[in-house]
Structure 1
């Protein structure tokens, strides 16, 4: 008598397969969220009130708003590039992946709020408010990095969702990159709270630049460095 799988096991596999879908809806929804977030960021750039002849001075006084905008725009752009590079390697999505993706989008959607906190606190020049705002921004960075860590971990454990030729090892390596983000943003928040707000702002600006260089994976960053030698 030929050995076969239990009927219950077969039904469970079929149900699980039926819950999977292509990534088109997840990508489309995610792109819409990223577009809305970037739109909300630019709304904080406002025309300053000034007396006749004082426009230039008023614009220059808003430098914290510009710095916060550039930092957050870079951060959103890098997350979008990461998202694109990640889902380019995904063949289909299941419920767990959708929840992990929603976790990333939840965190990204918080960036306009903490960006406004930082720009207004630095504009007003109150030291305590600046520390609170920078710490809040860093907390969002930690949460966002942790969300990516969750997503990469999930994909590293579910090879059946990946495109042919993409190994689970790729996403296992990306978990290290996300874990570094958790640590780096936590350190930036600590620096801003206990040491120096300007130093923390520089760190928060440099972190998106680093992740931008490796937006399609740390493998691509290493390849670029090898080509320059």
Structure 2
């Protein structure tokens, strides 16, 4: 099957996720800068989640450049990923509205953890479908960032009741790890193109 519909559907879902997140930021009453103060936690949680959704969109986009065909398993794995990403607006809003309280902070981490597991499953099904000598398999290599991230999420989830600052810091750390441009897929595709 052609990957075009899966790619278009995924882009649409992620665009809606971002739209829903920004709609959670309620306009404050008043016209002074001080009136924005109650909105700051919601805005900060929005910024973090926007970065996470952007990272997933970017990596998903790059990954699909290596895909030649999709099958039913890949389609369901993609829907599995989109399910967890579609929960980001809810946990973002809950976390921001409750000023990064432990339980919302932990649930935020659970959603991020499950999204990372879903991405890993999708990635591995694509590699299985295209073979271990495929572009994606070559580009991913040992995938250290992909293996470290779930461990960091578990640490952040567990520490959310001990220190919200530490837990939030770990979520920011994972985002920063992935925010640094990952050129593995681009290098692999460029290297293949230049050899042909």
The answer to whether TM tops 0.5 is yes
Gaps of 5+ in 1: 1-20, 123-128, 221-229
- The alignment yields a C-alpha RMSD, in angstroms, of 2.2
3-state secondary structure, aligned to 1:158: helix
Q: Which has the larger radius of gyration?
A: 1
1: CA distance, partners of 2:23 / 2:138: 41
Q: Give the deviation of 1:156 after TM superposition.
A: 2.4
Residue in structure 2 matching 1:166, options 119, 130, 135: 135
Q: Which residue of 2 aligns with 1:136?
A: 107
Q: Give the deviation of 1:186 after TM superposition.
A: 1.1
Q: Which residue of 2 aligns with 1:40?
A: 20
- Is 1:189 matched with 2:160? no
Quick one: structure 1 residues 90 and 218, their matched pair in 2 at CA, closer, same or farther if it must change by over 3 Å?
closer
Residue in structure 1 matching 2:50, options 43, 68, 73: 73
Does structure 2 retain, via aligned residues, the 8 Å contact 1:104–1:148?
yes
Question: Normalised by the size of structure 2, how large is the TM-score?
Answer: 0.86
Quick one: structure 1 residues 105 and 189, their matched pair in 2 at CA, closer, same or farther if it must change by over 3 Å?
same
Gaps of 5+ in 2: 188-196
Q: Which residue of 1 aligns with 2:70?
A: 93
Q: Give the deviation of 1:92 after TM superposition.
A: 0.8
Q: Give the deviation of 1:202 after TM superposition.
A: 2.1
Question: Normalised by the size of structure 1, how large is the TM-score?
Answer: 0.75
